[in-house]
Amino acid sequence: METVSDIASSILNQFQKPTLAFLIGGMVLAAARSRLEVPEAIYKFIVALLLLKVGMSAGMSVRSADLMALLVPAVMAIAVGVGIVLLGTVTLTRIRGVAPIDGYATAGLFGAVSASTLAAGMAVLETEGIAYEGFIGALYPFMDVAALITAIVLARMATARRVAAAGVSPDGTMVLGGGRPAAAPGQPGKPGLLKTILLDTVRSPAISALFLGLAIGLLSKPESVYQSFYEPLFRGLLSILMLIMGMEAWARLSELRKVAHAYLVYGLSAPIIHGLVGFGAGLIAHHLTGFSPGGVILLSVMAASSSDISGPPTLRGALPEANPSAYVGTSTGIGTPIAILSIPLWVALADLTIGLG
Amino acid sequence: METVSDIASSILNQFQKPTLAFLIGGMVLAAARSRLEVPEAIYKFIVALLLLKVGMSAGMSVRSADLMALLVPAVMAIAVGVGIVLLGTVTLTRIRGVAPIDGYATAGLFGAVSASTLAAGMAVLETEGIAYEGFIGALYPFMDVAALITAIVLARMATARRVAAAGVSPDGTMVLGGGRPAAAPGQPGKPGLLKTILLDTVRSPAISALFLGLAIGLLSKPESVYQSFYEPLFRGLLSILMLIMGMEAWARLSELRKVAHAYLVYGLSAPIIHGLVGFGAGLIAHHLTGFSPGGVILLSVMAASSSDISGPPTLRGALPEANPSAYVGTSTGIGTPIAILSIPLWVALADLTIGLG
Amino acid sequence: METVSDIASSILNQFQKPTLAFLIGGMVLAAARSRLEVPEAIYKFIVALLLLKVGMSAGMSVRSADLMALLVPAVMAIAVGVGIVLLGTVTLTRIRGVAPIDGYATAGLFGAVSASTLAAGMAVLETEGIAYEGFIGALYPFMDVAALITAIVLARMATARRVAAAGVSPDGTMVLGGGRPAAAPGQPGKPGLLKTILLDTVRSPAISALFLGLAIGLLSKPESVYQSFYEPLFRGLLSILMLIMGMEAWARLSELRKVAHAYLVYGLSAPIIHGLVGFGAGLIAHHLTGFSPGGVILLSVMAASSSDISGPPTLRGALPEANPSAYVGTSTGIGTPIAILSIPLWVALADLTIGLG
């Protein structure tokens, strides 16, 4: 009973969260034609700070984890993150009318992880008295970063291929858009393309900031600056980013009219399918290394969740052409509530297959 | 005796407050021809953050108030806020040489409320053991927002009329100035003008941010982001805004040479006259709904006070052509000390008219 | 024994500090050709906030000190700060291939004071039970500001002289560089030059912010805004500045190839020589006013240290043409560890010359 009310209050909180309030606020301002704007310089700086924080936080949690015990579950987490995005490639992005870049961005967000959904999952396990490994928090960046990078690289390759197919000269700026200086993507189809896009992705401001944060978290001791600056400012800066994304989402909402049903179906079904993928990967780790049933459940919860923290700034920074109405709307509006609702499913499934304690 | 020393220390604190120190600091830098400048992007972002905070804070205090008990006093607070600005229309803005826009901005600031003067009033009541309603804090945004919006709309209408009288084509950008894109104000004198200016005011960055904050505070639960970000950054960002306004005030100080006496007379007399208006409105609420004597005193204190928090960023954002030497100087330099000094007057008046006990 | 391990852990911490991690991170990003950038508006604002904070902190510590007792040691601290930079003029800047502006910036940083090295020195004295004056913390801004201003003025005079010698017309923008509007420096060699450069230095954004902070800290009560805003944001903003300086340092590292040995020799020997200068000045104050042996030791520690807080933003703001690879690299990478290692030397020297206790 407590679990049911926990889940209900998790969902309710999701809809009263400032994150969503600022997103809707931005849409209302855009609809009312307000002249409020966040200057470009501020926007760039906010994205850099958010991703430095996300990276540092992940790096510090990996640094303090037992790296040997982490190895197999981390490989599984990476595989699940990549797999979810590949699954999106053969489903969402194939639907007529869905812009490939929007499809990849949405799949990337569903492959990435929601820290708050994961926290809800941990709360359920604690209520039920089910044990899990202490390093679970350190697994999350592996799935998260793998999914986001895969989605960004696939989206950029699709853009490059489409440009080549259309016979347009593969000029860097036109192909990769967003007005940012970009390496020329080489001849499409040639083996150099993937390498060019990978390098270009790693050099993009968003991914650079994420990796820099990861490296600083892993290799130095940024705790003092993290706790005095990056951590306390995070929620507020995210609220501003949500405001910006809401304004933009409103401006581009009409693009989605014809394909809204595709996002609806994806948002409703993806968390369950992804959770099953995560459960399967967890079972393999369970049989290989004795990964606990609680750990298997939490790997499923991570896979079922879609990112509300690391994902939006990363995608907004690295794929500025993608439509936030599609990916943020599908994820925050549909995917996250379904992911929270599905938590008891993974508990029941673990009980049926490998037993709980 | 304690009350006297409380008031004395309130006034002393007012003059040692960082707000005033940064204002004077900005003036000194400008006088010394320093090249220190706050970039435009930063300035715009600071104004947006300040007004989001002011709005959220007001929205949250209204959300947690008893709306029925609040109704009559809130209507009175709105009436007082509007009334004070209208009073300024027939006094300050009519003085030869006072630029109408500066007169309206000054009247708007005197109609808006100083949270710290209100806090000083509450401290006096607590020292004297006089009770007041718990929802008083939620009254303050009604007077504040009503006065600021009235002042901005009147100032813009005056500008539109002056432009029409001068036979200049009513081009939006020229009429409303500040280099911001603005809706064309329509044919001056036609019934559409007020609506156009109201819409344009609501869409201005400053008022949009204020209303967005109000809506988020009223309708969602932004407490987490408010307490971790907007609240702690507020004083610091205000200090930067004061620095900017100080620099600007110095550059435009000479404009005031001929009419300084008008602002001096207004700054000395307005708090007393406005406090009496507030006292009258409070008496009406007392007789209609049993509004407490303590509440009547605090409504007078609010009316007598002039804004040091919500006002400067709102006016600087919405009326960039107004001269901050006029409105900030008159309010912070003269109005606020007089308002604090007048607190015992409202206590005595309440004792004489309706009794304290 | 405890002292030895204290010093060892101080040095180790120095290398794991986020400051250094962000500096190296910026270099790695630049080396990997990342497109991450911090917008110019943000950079300018960060420098202003950092120097307002440094100034306020110094102003507040001087305000709460006993000004009479402070007088002689403060004059000594100023003399040491100026003297160290003048020493750099006849050594580092004379080496063939060392750009004079880089030499002055490096000497300025070594003349300025590291608050954390000073704190390490205080910790050693407390472990050893050696008493020192309570106003020591208020001495530090005198040496710090004197050294930085001297370095900036000397660097600008050298630039003006070089331009004159090269027969280039002494146009302000060309002479003082950095794309900033600057007062024309007058005819080089004429008596007006020093005055022009001093005025121009005081009006530069960095020094203006530092002096404004000093004045606000000295004359008003900024404690509330300092503790809620400037102090908590400081470490984080410094980390961003370090990131920017790292990127820039990488881009200009090649300039140093031929003269790296000069900076190495300077970085290794300067802390010891400067510490001796500080010790001598302390001895004079000891004989003139009974300045304590602990105070003499701490004056030596200040002189031996090089700035990691006030220096980099001041120099980056006031001398944008100087190469941060030279001054930040020499100071953070070599000077600071040597300064920390030399602390026991000053304790021993004080014991030998004037006795401890």
Query: In this predicted complex, what is the ipTM?
Result: 0.78
b (16+ CB within 10 A) / e for C49-80: bbbbbbbbbbbbbbeebeeebbebbbebbbbb
Contact C203 B32 (CB under 8 A): yes
b (16+ CB within 10 A) / e for B209-243: bbbbbbbbbbebbbeebbebbbbbbbbbbbbbbbb
Give the closest of A18, A34, A39 to B224, CB-based: A18
Q: Which residues contact C8 (CB under 8 A, 6 or more apart)?
A: none
- pLDDT band at residue C334, thresholds of 50, 70 and 90? confident
Contact A105, A322 (CB under 8 A): yes
pLDDT, averaged across chain B = 84
Q: For a pLDDT cut of 70, what percent of chain C falls above it?
A: 88
Q: Which residues contact C212 (CB under 8 A, 6 or more apart)?
A: B25, B28, B29, B36, B243, C52, C55
Cβ-based contacts of B229 with chain A (< 8 Å): 232-233, 235-237, 239
Cβ-based contacts of B237 with chain A (< 8 Å): none
- Across residues B149-174, what is the average pLDDT? 74
Q: Which residues contact B214 (CB under 8 A, 6 or more apart)?
A: B55, B56, B58, B59, B141, B145
What was the pLDDT predicted at B16?
67
Min Cα–Cα distance to chain C from A196, Å: 13
What tokens were used for C112? 């300025």
Contact C41 B36 (CB under 8 A): no
Q: How many CB atoms lie within 10 A of CB B192?
A: 12
Q: Locate the domains of chain B by residue range.
A: 2-161+223-353
Contact B208 A38 (CB under 8 A): no
- The set of chains that have 3 or more CB pairs under 8 A with A is B, C
Fill in the DSSP letter of residue C95. Answer: S
What was the pLDDT predicted at C277?
96
What tokens were used for C46? 């960060």
Give the closest of C215, C225, C233 to B18, CB-based: C225
Contact C29 A212 (CB under 8 A): yes
Query: Does the pLDDT value for residue B176 go beyond 50?
Result: no
- The residue ranking higher by pLDDT, C218 or B249, is C218
Mutation target among B45, B46, B49 for the A interface, most CBs of A within 10 A: B45
> How far is it, in rounded angstroms, from Cα B37 to Cα C294?
42
Query: Does the pLDDT value for residue C173 go beyond 50?
Result: no
Q: What are the φ and ψ backbone dihedral angles of A135, each rounded to 5 degrees?
A: -90, 5
Q: Which residue of C has its CA nearest to B41?
A: C41
Q: Which residues contact B197 (CB under 8 A, 6 or more apart)?
A: B153, B156, B157, B160, B185
What was the pLDDT predicted at A223?
92
Cβ-based contacts of C215 with chain B (< 8 Å): 25, 28
Least confident of A181-195, A284-298, B271-285, C66-80: A181-195
Give the closest of B17, B25, B41 to C212, CB-based: B25
Distance of CA A208 to the CA centre of its chain: 16
- pLDDT band at residue B140, thresholds of 50, 70 and 90? confident
Query: Does the pLDDT value for residue A348 go beyond 90?
Result: yes
pLDDT tens digits along B297-312: 999 999 999 987 778 8
Q: Exposed, middle or buried, B189 (CB in 10 Å: 0-12/13-18/19+)?
A: exposed
Mutation target among C36, C43, C241, C247 for the A interface, most CBs of A within 10 A: C36
What was the pLDDT predicted at B181?
39
Cβ-based contacts of A216 with chain C (< 8 Å): 18, 21-22, 25
pLDDT tens digits along B28-71: 999 999 999 999 999 999 989 988 998 898 889 888 887 788 88
Q: Tally A–C CB contacts below 8 A.
A: 81
Least confident of B243-247, B336-340, C255-259: C255-259
- Across residues B138-143, what is the average pLDDT? 87
What was the pLDDT predicted at B93?
83
- Across residues C262-278, what is the average pLDDT? 94
Question: In terms of pTM, does the model score above 0.80?
Answer: yes
Contact C216 B34 (CB under 8 A): no
- Across residues A34-49, what is the average pLDDT? 92
- Across residues A36-64, what is the average pLDDT? 90
Contact B169, B155 (CB under 8 A): no
Contact C236 A219 (CB under 8 A): no
pLDDT tens digits along A85-141: 999 988 988 888 888 899 999 999 999 998 778 888 888 898 889 999 888 878 888
Report the SS3 class of residue C187: coil
pLDDT tens digits along A159-174: 888 887 776 544 433 3
Query: Does the pLDDT value for residue A72 go beyond 60?
Result: yes
Contact A21 B205 (CB under 8 A): no
For domain C2-161+223-353, give the CATH number: 1.20.1530
What was the pLDDT predicted at A74?
92
Give the closest of C17, C36, C41 to A209, CB-based: C36
CA angle B305, B309, B313 (to 5 degrees): 125
Least confident of B198-202, C70-74, C154-158: B198-202
Closest CA to C308 of C142, C25, C109: C109
What was the pLDDT predicted at B7?
63
Give the closest of C40, C208, C232 to B36, CB-based: C208
Q: Tally A–B CB contacts below 8 A.
A: 79
Contact B232 A232 (CB under 8 A): yes
Contact B18 C208 (CB under 8 A): no
- The set of chains that have 3 or more CB pairs under 8 A with B is A, C
Query: Does the pLDDT value for residue A181 go beyond 60?
Result: no
Contact C35 A212 (CB under 8 A): no
- pLDDT band at residue A4, thresholds of 50, 70 and 90? low
- The set of chains that have 3 or more CB pairs under 8 A with C is A, B
Query: Does the pLDDT value for residue A23 go beyond 90?
Result: no
Give the closest of B25, B33, B239 to C225, CB-based: B239
Contact A136, A357 (CB under 8 A): no
pLDDT tens digits along C183-227: 444 444 455 778 888 888 888 888 899 899 999 999 999 998 999
